[in-house]
A and B are shown apart, each in its own frame.
Chain A
């Protein structure tokens, strides 16, 4: 429960010479208390207050009945007080004044009561102190300090009341203008139209406009009427027989105007009309302040906000769409190019494949042909190579060389037999030698018939070999045998005693 305990009001007036007069008086219930203080009523003075600051102190109780003591005093001690509220009201508020008052209240609460919670508003400041009790001395000191603080600083916060004045005027004029019927811009009847108000700051006047004229005004930012003065005529419309108000233009001696009731274009002589009442229109201003009605301002702001959001959404959507399109299009183009390249590659590879396949087939045919040819020739060669004791052929030197290398028989008889078994025609050769040699190890060898084997090769003619050593021999009659052996292997191991000369070579096939 909230119970008012003390209240003080300060009326502030500014005199012509800029001096400040402050009248302080308590409210009706606390008069007795405050009379004890130095703040007495000054009823004799008559003045008009320029500003007013009112301070109310309340108890917050725990819903328990508080005993009222005679003379308007409250018994604080018996009541279940758990907190104090201080409300401050300012008639003409200004930002700096409000901030100063908040500071004063905060400091005084801290000094005499407890730290408080402040709720500042434009025309009021609420202060809440929990778990706090009051005594008369504290209240007295609190109020004294409060008044002193206000009196000391108030001259610095001379309230101009400019904003309040404008707002009041706006409200007042809107109220008045809403009763008007004609648009100031086009002269149309405004009863059924959306009304907007134009405040001309310079002339400090309000004009009523229809929404079309308002929109034009907003768009062009130019004064609706440039004429400084216009004559407004009243008369009875011959079409609708109602009284109309309009501005008129003189064309060829006639007044041409529009009836604001039936919207007919009229062309009449001046005599028909009543005497015009001259209305002084404000001078056109460079940048007039346009103040729509508060609710309409809100609506328009909301509409503009919504449109702005939607436009931003469209813009964002466009960006996302364009970005997405660009990204997807890039991907699509790249993929398409890749696909085309792949297709070209595929065709190329397919062609290559066909060519190579054809080439492979022809190569295989060629291989087959060469194989057959080789086979035929090999068979023929094999048949030419083959043979036995009864079918002999003259060999190639390589064949002989290979045979001699592979055959390990030392005896010429066996070697000849082996050669003939392979079909190789081989001769038994006796070389008649005259003279003698002595081996280095001491054995003496005298001349006689020396056995060799021979082949009549196709490519190198007759070739001779020693069967036991496989040395090739080039026997010549009249030559020393030791010199006829290939590589002269015997020249270092034997000493020729006599000539050791070949006298005859007998080749027996």
Chain B
């Protein structure tokens, strides 16, 4: 083999070796890039998923915060209202026994007050007895009676044992209210041996019970 041919052969071999080496290196780099691309894609997908989850959590968090704020506001209002209501008075009433009514009326001193048509009339008597009864938990009604001339006021109790009973607050006499009858002469029951004079102006036309 001649010198030129040897040189040519060596150069050819060098070229082939360089080509193979270069190809191998480029292939390796390409392989690395492909691998890297796959990894990057996986990371991107994972990142996207995490971002979605984060957004969802953020949304939930915002909603929860809003809900908490709203509830806190409501709670504050409720507590305020509660505090106010707690400071307010509460009343528990009951329908009494007839004897209980009698005892109450005996102990109540409203009937001893003097009558004044302008300052302390029948309505004032009825009001005071009614309010005193409810103060000690006895449910009491204000009864407004329309007469043929004017009006009158008394009190009523819905007793457990006898039922609805009426009393004249000015003297604590029991009253059997009946429309068309004269109030004093026919309806008020005085102590035995006493009676009231008849007066057609006191004829009961109707009556209203305010509990």
A236 at the interface (CB under 8 A from B): no
- Per the CB 8 Å criterion, the residue count for chain B at the interface is 72
Q: Check if A321 sits within 8 Å of B123, measured CB to CB.
A: no
Q: Which of A356, A389, A458 contacts B84 (CB 8 A)?
A: A458
Query: Is A364 part of the binding interface, using a Cβ–Cβ cutoff of 8 Å?
Result: yes
Chain A residues, CB < 8 A from B57? 353, 356-357, 360
* Beta-carbon contacts under 8 Å, A295-334 to B: 299-300, 303, 306-307, 310-311, 313-314, 317-318, 321, 324-325, 328-329, 331-332
Complex CA–CA separation, A413 to B142 (angstroms): 11
Does the CB pair A367–B68 fall under 8 Å?
A: yes
A-B pairs, top 10 by smallest CB distance, nearest first, are: A458-B88, A342-B43, A321-B22, A303-B4, A394-B88, A428-B210, A392-B91, A508-B142, A384-B85, A363-B64
Q: Which residues of chain B come closer than 8 Å to A350, judged between CB atoms? A: 50
Is B92 a contact partner of A391 (Cβ separation < 8 A)?
yes
Contact in complex: A343, B68 (CB < 8 Å): no
Question: Could you say which of A349, A378, A389 contacts B211, with CB atoms under 8 Å apart?
Answer: A389
Query: Across the interface, which residues of A come within 8 angstroms of B11, CB to CB?
Result: 307, 310-311, 314
B43 and A332 contacting across the interface, CB-CB below 8 Å: no
A41 within 8 A of B: no
Q: How far is the CA of A456 from the CA of B88 in the complex (A)?
A: 9
Q: Provide the B72-115 mask, 1 if CB < 8 A to any CB of A, else 0.
A: 10110011011011111111111100000000000000000000
B61 touches which of A324, A363, A389 (Cβ 8 Å): A363
Give 5 new A-B contacts, CB below 8 A, not counting A310-B12, A321-B26, A420-B211.
A366-B68, A377-B79, A390-B92, A391-B91, A458-B87
Known: A346-B47, A363-B64. A317 touches B22 (CB 8 A): yes
Chain A nearest Cβ from B129, distance in angstroms: 10
Task: List residues of A (374-426) whose CB comes within 8 Å of B's CBs.
Answer: 374, 377-378, 380-381, 384-385, 389-396, 412-413, 416-417, 420, 425
Residues A390 and B85 in contact, CB atoms below 8 Å apart: no
Closest to A377 in B: B78
B7 lies within 8 A of chain A by Cβ: yes
Q: What are 13 A-to-B residue pairs whose CB atoms are below 8 Å?
A: A310-B11, A310-B12, A336-B36, A353-B53, A370-B68, A370-B72, A389-B93, A389-B211, A390-B94, A392-B91, A393-B89, A396-B85, A507-B131
**In the complex with contacts A367-B68, A393-B88, A503-B118 CB distance below 8 A:** yes
Asked if B8 CB lies within 8 Å of chain A CBs, one says yes
B67 in contact (CB, < 8 A): yes
* Interchain nearest-CB distance for B44 vs A (Å): 6
For residue A504, CB closer than 8 A to chain B, the reply is: yes
Indicate whether B201 reaches chain A with its CB closer than 8 angstroms.
no
Report A-chain residues with C-beta under 8 Å of the C-beta of B210. 412-413, 416, 428, 508
How many A-B residue pairs have C-beta atoms within 8 angstroms? Tell me: 185
Are A314 and B15 in contact (CB-based, < 8 A)?
A: yes
> Given A339-B36, A384-B85 in contact, is the A393-B90 Cβ separation under 8 Å?
yes
A459 proximal to B (CB < 8 A): yes
Task: Judge whether A363 and B65 touch: CB under 8 Å.
Answer: yes
| Closest A residue to B91 using CB positions | A392
Answer whether residue B126 sits at the interface, using C-beta atoms and an 8 A cutoff. Answer: yes
A247-279: CB near B (< 8 Å → 1, else 0) gives 000000000000000000000000000000000
Docked Cα-Cα span, A328 to B85, in Å, equals 79
Question: Does A359 reach chain B (CB closer than 8 Å)?
Answer: yes
Q: Does B206 contact A (CB under 8 A)?
A: no
**Proximity string of chain B (1-23) to chain A, C-beta cutoff 8 Å, 1 when within and 0 when not:** 00010011001101100110010
Bound-complex Cα distance A373 to B92 (A): 28
B139 at the interface (CB under 8 A from A): yes
| A338 interface contact, C-beta 8 A | yes
Residues on the A chain within 8 Å of B51, using CB: 349
* Chain A residues within 8 Å of B29, by CB: 325, 328-329, 332
Question: Please, which residues of chain B bring their CB within 8 A of the CB of A416?
Answer: 210-211
B116-150 contact mask (Cβ, 8 Å, vs A): 1 or 0:
00110001101100110010000100100000000
Q: Give the Cβ gap from B95 to chain A, nearest Cβ, in Å.
A: 8
* Any A CB within 8 A of the CB of B178: no
Chain B hits for A359, CB < 8 A: 61
Q: Residue of B at shortest CB range from A357?
A: B57
